[in-house]
A = this chain, B = another copy of it.
Amino acid sequence: MAERKAVVLLSGGLDSATALAIARAEGFEAHALSFRYGQRHAVELEAARKVAAALGAAEHVVLDVDLRALGGSALTSDAADPAVPAVPKGRGAAEIGAGIPVTYVPARNTVFLSLALAWAETLGAADIFIGVNALDYGGYPDCRPEYIEAFQRMADLATRAGVEGKQRLMIRAPLTGMTKGEIIRRGTELGVDYSLTWSCYDPAPGGEACGACDSCALRLRGFAEAGLGDPIRYRPGSSTGR
């Protein structure tokens, strides 16, 4: 029997790498989808490429969507532009979880899930995996379970298969209720090589992670919680917990 197909949103970070490993462990033929959307750092896409290959994705498509043309967010703007808010540094867990951060990209997950939906319909895939995590990213509206459920209801009305009653689309968010430490432990069990993944919002020129932005802070806390060492390189002198 042919493997069932799934579209897996893959950012190059550790959450989506773990989501891909879960899709593969459930027996899906994984079609990995990344976006060149005006991120500050193309290193994310290189990480996604390596992760897709290492975890046996059937294919990996990088789609161009220039979200910069629509403005907004510290993550998609020119880092050299003084009008762009700086990536916050050195914040604790409570600060990271509170409110909507400047690194929020308007409607990003909606745009990404919509494009995943277009691809799923073309492939005949009924499952879309997304590595959103409600515990660490409660400040992002489009990471919450009620948002994912609403997207799925909309998707069922949007597609040919849904309308013809042939196939319900499933938006799979397997990490939703997991802590970062639980995610890292689960991925490690499934053979994820986290040295290939990338999280930092503000890397050093030499390619080391900063160890201080929200994303590094969550990552480092997760590895500490999991009782594992983070295999990536951090900027010398940063508080990497090692």
Q: Is A163 an interface residue (CB 8 A)?
A: yes
Q: Which residues of B lie under 8 Å from residue A65 when comparing CB positions?
A: 63-65, 115
**A8-16, A43-51, A99-107, A206-214: which lies at the interface:** A99-107
Q: Is A67 an interface residue (CB 8 A)?
A: yes
Q: Are A61 and B69 in contact (CB under 8 A)?
A: yes
Q: Which residues of B lie under 8 Å from residue A108 when comparing CB positions?
A: 118
Distance between Cα atoms of A64 and B69 in the complex (Å): 9
Q: Which residue of B lies closest to A162 (CB)?
A: B141
| A24 → B minimal CB distance (Å) | 21
Indicate how many identical chains form the complex.
2
Q: Are B70 and A119 in contact (CB under 8 A)?
A: yes
Q: Which residue of B lies closest to A113 (CB)?
A: B114
28 of the cross-chain contacts (CB-CB < 8 Å) are: A63-B66, A63-B69, A63-B70, A64-B66, A65-B65, A65-B115, A72-B121, A100-B160, A100-B163, A104-B160, A106-B160, A107-B115, A107-B117, A107-B118, A107-B158, A111-B111, A111-B114, A111-B115, A141-B157, A141-B162, A142-B158, A142-B159, A144-B157, A147-B154, A147-B158, A150-B156, A150-B158, A151-B154
Closest 4 CB pairs of A and B: A106-B121, A107-B118, A72-B122, A150-B154
